[in-house]
C-alpha cells in the first residue's frame, strides 16, 4: 500500500482534505538505470568489436561463434539505449515533468528489436551439440 500525501485544512469556506499525489520516485533509481545502461554499453561494444563475451552464464554459454556474439553485442547496445531512455523518463517524473509519449513507443520498439536480435543470435549460432534440435 502506498501512502498518499494527504493535506487537511480550510478549503473554500469550509474544511476538507486533499488526497494528494503519489510520492516522488526515488532519484537514486535514475542513477542505477544510467549505471545499467553504461555497463550494457561497455559489454555490448566489447562483444561487437572483439566477437567475444566478457561474461558467459546461463543461456549465453551456448554461444560459440563470433558472428552470434556480435549479434548479442548489438542487442546489448539496444538494451543500453532503452535503459538510458527509461532512466531519463524516470528523472523527468522525479521533477514533475511528464516525458514525451513517443518515448514509451521508442522503448517498446527497442525491447522488441533486442529480443529479436537475441533470438537471431541463437539461430545464427550453429553449435555442433545443437544441430538437429
| pLDDT > 70 in the chain, percent | 79
Q: How far is CA 61 from CA 54, 75, 125, in A?
A: 11, 16, 12
The per-residue pLDDT for 59 is: 80
Which residues make Cβ contacts (< 8 Å) with residue 46, sequence separation at least 6?
Answer: 52, 54, 73
Quick one: pLDDT band at residue 96, thresholds 50, 70, 90? Answer: confident
CA 50 to chain CA mean position, Å: 24
The per-residue pLDDT for 4 is: 55
The per-residue pLDDT for 126 is: 64
Which tens digit of pLDDT belongs to each residue from 17-34?
666 666 666 778 888 999
The per-residue pLDDT for 64 is: 82
- 14 has which bridge partners? 11
Which tens digit of pLDDT belongs to each residue from 103-121?
899 999 999 999 999 999 9
pLDDT of 128 above 60: no
Grid coordinates given for 36: 545499467
Amino acid at each position: 500500500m502506498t501512502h498518499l500525501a494527504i493535506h487537511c485544512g480550510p478549503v473554500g469556506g469550509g474544511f476538507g482534505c486533499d488526497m494528494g499525489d503519489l510520492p516522488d520516485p526515488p532519484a537514486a533509481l535514475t542513477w542505477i538505470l544510467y549505471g545499467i545502461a553504461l555497463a550494457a554499453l561497455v559489454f555490448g561494444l566489447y562483444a561487437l568489436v572483439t566477437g567475444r563475451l566478457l561474461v558467459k552464464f546461463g543461456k549465453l554459454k551456448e554461444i560459440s561463434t563470433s558472428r552470434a556474439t556480435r549479434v548479442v553485442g548489438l542487442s546489448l547496445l539496444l538494451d543500453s539505449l532503452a535503459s538510458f531512455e527509461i532512466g531519463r523518463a524516470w528523472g523527468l517524473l522525479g521533477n514533475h515533468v511528464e516525458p514525451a509519449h513517443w518515448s514509451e513507443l521508442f522503448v517498446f520498439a527497442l525491447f522488441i528489436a533486442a529480443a529479436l536480435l537475441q533470438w537471431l543470435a541463437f539461430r545464427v549460432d550453429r553449435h555442433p551439440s545443437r544441430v538437429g534440435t
